[in-house]
Amino acid sequence: MRQPNPPNPPHRSAGSRRTGGVRRLLTVAAGTLALAAGLLTVAPRASAAGLTEITGFGTDPGNLSMYAYAPDGLPAEAPVVVALHGCTQSANDYYAHSGWPELADRYGFSLVLPQTSAANNTNSCFNWFEPGDSTRGQGEALSIKQMVDEAVARYDGDPERVYITGLSAGGGMTANMLAAYPDVFAAGSIASGLPAHCANSVAAAYTCMYAPADRTPGQWGDLVRSAAPAGTASWPRVAIWQGTADTTVRPANATELRDQWTDVWGIGQAPSRTEELAGGTTLSVYDDASGAPAVEVYSVAGMAHGLAVDPGSGAEQCGTTGTYYLDTICSSYRTARFWGLDDDGGTPGTLPAPTGVTVTGTTDTTAALSWHAVTGAASYDVHRDGTKVGTATSAGYTDTGLATGTAYRYTVAAVDPSAARGAASAAVTATTTGFTPTCHTADNYAHTVAGRARHSGGYTYALGSGRPMGLWNTSVGHTLEQTSPGHYVIADSGCPA
């Protein structure tokens, strides 16, 4: 996130610029820290082929620039994804490294890349810590909302499928945008970011970055509820990405983000399930009352401050490495799947998405689905975790050969007689019966972030069994065996699984 220097935009009033002595001292201190870390680089303006600058998108009270990318042949009512760069970065930088443009090509959505500048913030950070820029209807937040409206109108986008993601300061602004505009964004993804409304000044921003307040889930959730329109009852789904070796935005922020958004959803802080992914990544999933993922936390072991990317041509790879783009796992791909944007790139058709997709039964190795038939459909493509696994000629399908005690995510698309596939359905999750024990070796802090343990009074305890594990820090580690869902025991002398 690099240092959140105070803004001094020329279009603000003298009062909002706050150029007093204390403010100047904070600016000098922030600049000194940034120079010590070698972070004050000049962010280029976006100008790469494929990106288009769009002017006149609104009143732009936040003094931002709008850049956008729309793949050729983008169908009507396609999703819109907003991606916010980090400090010292630009829209072009994020476009070039994050992997989102290639996913836009693959899955068919428009991409909006807002850009701030040194006129707003010395380090070209989004002002996530300034109330006048991060609340509904004001400053940068309103400028980003105006960009969404422009993109939906310009590209005939689907206003029900608008998503937002951001890195570092962009992640902090993403959390605030999700809180301020839950009626606009269906879901979001916060990478190396901060809880919504963690700070309301530059001094508080440093505290959040390095030592976030240990508020209760209810207190964090109240910050979101108070920022949203009165009476809000439907909330965005949220993915949280964090490296365990991040010294700029401490990993504790991921825990507080989890607490905040699970509380907003009215669900507990114990994960519904966990999964080990590539790149040393642990995924913890928190389901809503219907069993669908509402919050996902991705903890990347050993990763420093930045966005997780995975260069290559594989189906799950995307992005390129660079400053603050770290080669571990493609976070953009995983986020797109979580949002339901995934597809296999077949010929687009006009058939609507199947409705009523339901898991009708599971066994240790199978999952059965049904849905409402689509008029004009010759068949249906069934996707499991973003990959096509079968074709059905009727409104039902049974997937086989699955692992026990494992959650799988399914979407269904109708295919017309010319083999053109229509829109994908909303995703449903099926969890097979049985349980396969797993082993996890990590420090106590990582175990807690991943949901395998809890901390209280500075000490760590294994989730489920309550076995004491010692101090809650990165210097003490254990091997935990998950013997049943949500139940872990210490297995330092050998893990049977």
Report the phi/psi class of residue 380: left, alpha or beta, with left for phi > 0 and alpha for psi in -120 to 50. beta
- 47 belongs to the catalytic site: no
**Hey, is 65 helix, strand or coil?**
strand
Q: Distance (Å, rounded) from C-alpha 35 to C-alpha 49?
A: 32
C-alpha triplet 9, 11, 17: angle, nearest 5°: 50
Query: Which residues make Cβ contacts (< 8 Å) with residue 74, sequence separation at least 6?
Result: 108, 109, 110, 155
Query: Which residues make Cβ contacts (< 8 Å) with residue 443, sequence separation at least 6?
Result: 473, 474, 475, 476, 477
Cβ-contact 125, 87 below 8 angstroms: yes
Phi, psi of 365, rounded to the nearest 5 degrees: -130, 5
**Tokens at 240, concatenated:** 């949280």
**Tokens at 139, concatenated:** 């400053």
Q: Distance (Å, rounded) from C-alpha 337 to C-alpha 344?
A: 12
Q: Which residues pair with 240 in a beta bridge?
A: 190, 297
Task: Enter the DSSP assignment of 94.
Answer: H
Cβ-contact 169, 253 below 8 angstroms: no
Q: Give the ranges where 70-130 is alpha helix by DSSP (H).
A: 91-97, 100-107
Burial class (CB in 10 A: 0-12, 13-18, 19+), 10: exposed
Cβ-contact 161, 152 below 8 angstroms: no
Rg (CA), the chain: 23
E runs forming strands in 348-467: 358-362, 367-370, 379-384, 387-392, 396-399, 407-415, 421-424, 428-431, 438-443, 453-456, 459-462
Q: Distance (Å, rounded) from C-alpha 279 to C-alpha 315?
A: 15
Cα torsion angle, 9, 15, 20, 25, sign: negative
Cβ-contact 349, 377 below 8 angstroms: no
Point out the catalytic residue in the list 65, 98, 134, 168: 168
Show which residues are catalytic: 168
